[in-house]
Structure 1
Amino acid sequence: YTQILEEWVHLEKSSKFMSLQGPAGMLDSKDRPQEVRWWIARKHLVTVRPSIPDVKTFAGHWWRWWACLQPEWREITAPSGLSHSPLPRHGRDGDCSALDKPGINGFLSIVVCLKWWGFETAAASKDPQWLAAIQDTKWVM
């Protein structure tokens, strides 16, 4: 997760910490976990965390949202099984501009979801789905 934070800071630095307004600065909300909406309504406070009664359900919602955010050339689904094998990555030459959303309403929402998921998973460092999410998010960034 620390590597994700480092990549996110790099993303924010490269945009000079600008926070674009309107759709240009927002990730698509289709299939977004409801916890993100809850957090946004509380002005993105880092001191608050939503209640996540079922981590597996939250993880499923996160993966649906993540898959929905991907460009058309990158078709992914949530990994299954006990290993966190890499998701399909067909090179870095595809357009990922739909995910290039620095600022308060952009990639931060993805990063904070991974934080919540990690907190709710007692052994996050061994959770294959969480590890795959971390790995794939880092690759995209």
Structure 2
Amino acid sequence: MPAGPAPPPSTSTLNALPELTTAPPPSRPSPPPSIPIVVPEKAPAWLKSSVQDLTRVDLGCHYASVVAALIRLETAAKYGHNDDSRLPAAQRGNTARPKVLAAWIRGGRGTKSKLQPVVASLATFVPEWDGWWDSMQPEWRERNRQGRWRIDLPYQKEWDWGVMQAYGINGILSVVAGIYFWGVAVLAQHDEDQTARWDNAVQDVVWVLEGLESTFKK
């Protein structure tokens, strides 16, 4: 464990990282992530246990950036202590969150069971994820020519992030959990197309987390 927190990985740093490469199957020992993940001592138990649960498998430097961004965001939001908001289980068009997340939440977010929920079918999970994630995006977000959400825009103070401004145990943590379980399933399949699709989602989530964090900066 390093003596202090690692420097925050900015979006520009993330974009400069190497492409995700094939890693050993989850059953084999994995090296520590290339970006150190440090949870502040003052962080609540739910964040410490969740980070531990969602880093059991090393998914590479891009995913490590997601977890690091989550920790910085929750720290800036004071871990949701003054806010009982929660990320919606369903949003526009009654788009529900993926079932694997409901199972993780029922299991105490890794505290009640040693067994993690598994994405049994990427063909089922990915459309669930896309629908839930897309439904939560604020109206001002734009897509690029490839149909992906743009992550090349500078953050604006006047942006309203809507329902994603939900912090604490019932907040944006669920998004990180979804990316993690998706990544574990992709890692086990060694499929380049699935890996690329997951990595695009990872970079989009980092951009959103950093954007949410920017709202706390003066």
Q: TM-score, normalised by structure 1?
A: 0.80
1:66-81 equivalent positions in 2, closer than 5 A: 66-74=133-141
RMSD of aligned residue pairs (Cα, Å): 2.5
Offset of residue 119 of structure 1? 0.6
- Report SS of the residue matched to 2:78: coil
1:27 maps to 87
Secondary structure, aligned partner of 1:73: coil
List runs of 5+ in structure 2 lacking aligned partners.
1-62, 91-95, 210-218
In the TM superposition, structure 1's runs of 4+ consecutive aligned residues that sit over 3 Å from their partners are 123-126
Corresponding residue of 2:155 = 92
Contact 1:124/1:131 (<8 A) preserved: no
Q: Which among 178, 181, 197 is matched to residue 116 of structure 1? A: 181
Tell me which of the two structures has the higher relative contact order, counting C-alpha pairs closer than 8 angstroms and 6 or more residues apart: 1
Letter in 2 for 1:117: W
- Partner deviation per Cα, 1:26-55 (whole Å, 9 max, x = no partner): 111112111111111111116442132112
**Residue 137 of structure 1 pairs with residue 200 of structure 2:** no
> Deviation digits for residues 61-88 of structure 1, max 9, x if unmatched?
1111100111122255xx77xxxxx523
Q: Please tell me the residue identity of whatever aligns with 1:50.
A: P
The 3 A distance-change label for structure 1 pair 130 and 124 is farther
Residues 74-118 of structure 1: per-residue CA shift (max 9 Å, x gap): 255xx77xxxxx523555322114212221111110101111111
Q: Report which stretch shifted further, 5-14 or 38-47.
A: 38-47
| Length-normalised TM-score, structure 2 | 0.54
Match of 1:83 in 2: none
Alpha-carbon separation, structure 1, partners of 2:74 and 2:162: 15
AA partner of residue 149 (structure 2): L
CA contact (8 A) 2:119 2:185 kept: yes
- Distance in 2 (alpha carbons) for counterparts of 1:124 and 1:106: 31
Asked whether the 8 Å contact 1:101–1:107 carries over to 2, the reply is yes
Q: 1:124 to 1:66 in 2, by over 3 A?
A: farther
Q: In the alignment, residue 37 of structure 1 is paired with which amino acid?
A: A
Structure with greater Cα Rg: 2
Structure 1 residue ranges without an equivalent (≥5): 81-85
The count of residues paired between Structure 1 and Structure 2 equals 132
Aligned partner letter, 1:38: A
